[in-house]
A and B are shown apart, each in its own frame.
Chain A
């Protein structure tokens, strides 16, 4: 009896998160498909500033031109590197773009309104992305940062993202090719939905399970520590690997039990680094740089979350 009741409660909680989140995942997948079909990256790279700070800042906001989530960002970054984008710009783009995008703005706004969580997520994302970009950009030689395959003049033609559809990047815009491009975009969107959807489904299931089975006192014990709560939520973000378009709805499951700093750190750290993006990083960056890309954002977001908690006076 108790078991059946728990399953019913779990089903309601799980489906609630899933139903609210899935339209955003679909919009993100469609965008990713459209970028793959239509956007030529060279022009945008050429327009960006060349000095290191300008490049890092530009990279942090480049997501507005390439609205991708954390899964789409690695292939796009790799393509941009192969078109000659500076290292600091690429790193800032990689870390910031999964949040810096209208779809994620919308889902964060719907979940939290325009308040401390939204603003905190925005500010921390930019500060961390630009700082890490500058630190890594100091080893300015792309050769010491990037794997050969991701470098300008490298073997980009054989890279994952360009494989087998060079015909997509030609310049004729007759009707047949437009239709083909649209069909291609939707096909990519389908695959993206399945590939990314599993992280949403597993993540929602875990969050719903915790809400249903773990007594609220235990969650509160974990969730009220200024440091512990932030640490826990960042580890959770890393493990769950949930798409940045929908992570706000997962974070909602913890607003009643966790500190605000922990919620914000979950939302700013998760899109930068998680299990699946770490794996994808290794395809672009050298091993030492991958370590920086994981640890620096982790430490900086942790500090930011703890500072927010102290400022709010928990």
Chain B
């Protein structure tokens, strides 16, 4: 084996090991929930396990020259560099969930997916933003008048919104961030200037049907608006 092949094989070994470590680190730190639906978190365990197995066998091939791994393909530096790209991104850029910057063309007032008996049975104070939008699609706006709301989301505003109007928003995610989709509930508050757009807030208030950006909608009349930390599960799972 040439010196070049040997260097490439060490680089491959490092990448396999690095991927295993990266997935493990995502699981331990909880950052995995920034990327995929927690329902599929077990996939990361499978991935980490296989990466470590491949790295181990690759190491075996490095330290025991009599075991010559059969080269199925010719792997060159170009392929090694491409394989290192995800690791480079993971190392250089701090892990974070999708936020307001990722909204590309507006927020939906329509729910994603369909609710079931369990979600519809939730009492108003237990409903999250997705549950509420599903309720909105089942009845006229005025029917929600005076119902209490207590939700967490990030603040989103558009130029068409009046000075006291905003939306309290979340991304929904079915599988992974590839299908993440922003949804939001219209709200009205006097103290809106106190919070930064994009920051996470807990909104408590009561619903009242009103005109919001040209549409009759249930609007949260905010009673308390407090800044909170990003939740451990930043996304809502339909």
The contact of A27 among B46, B82, B83, by CB within 8 Å, is: B46
Please classify the interface of chain A as helix (H, G, I), strand (E, B), loop, or mixed, using the class held by over half of its residues.
Answer: helix
Asked if residues B106 and A252 are in contact (CB atoms below 8 Å), the reply is no
Contact count band on B: 35 or more
A interface residues, how many (CB within 8 angstroms): 57
Q: Which one, B26, B57, B94, B174, contacts A187 given CB within 8 A?
A: B57
Interface residues of B in 88-137 (CB under 8 A from A): 89-90, 93-98, 101-102, 104-106
Q: What residues of A have a CB within 8 angstroms of the CB of B50 in the complex?
A: 23, 26-27, 30
Q: How far is the CB of B89 from chain A (nearest CB, A)?
A: 5
A193 contact set on B, CB distance < 8 A: 16, 54
| In the assembled complex, B34 has its CB within 8 A of some CB on chain A | yes
User: Could you tell me which B residues sit within 8 Å of A by CB distance?
Assistant: 12, 16, 19, 23, 26, 32, 34-36, 40, 43-44, 46-47, 50-51, 53-54, 57-58, 60-61, 67, 69-73, 75, 79-80, 82-83, 85-86, 89-90, 93-98, 101-102, 104-106, 174-181
Decide: A211 near B83, CB < 8 A? Known: A26-B47, A188-B70: no
Contact residues of A between 1 and 30, Cβ < 8 Å to B: 5-9, 11-20, 22-24, 26-27, 30
Q: Quick one: which of B12, B72, B85 contacts A192, CB cutoff 8 A?
A: B72
**In the complex, what residue of chain B is closest to A17 when comparing beta carbons?**
B178
Q: How far is the CA of A111 from the CA of B79 in the complex (A)?
A: 27
Query: How far does the Cβ of A40 sit from chain B's closest Cβ, in whole Å?
Result: 18
Nearest CB of chain A from residue B9's CB, rounded to whole Å: 10
* A80-88, A131-139, A201-209, A286-294 - the one binding chain B: A201-209
Question: Interface digits, A105-123 against B, CB 8 Å rule (1 contact, 0 not)?
Answer: 0000011000000000000
Interface centre among A7, A12, A27, A183 (most CB of B within 10 A): A12
Residue from A8, A189, A212 having most chain B Cβ neighbours under 10 A: A8
The complex places the Cα of A205 from the Cα of B175 at a distance, in Å, of 18
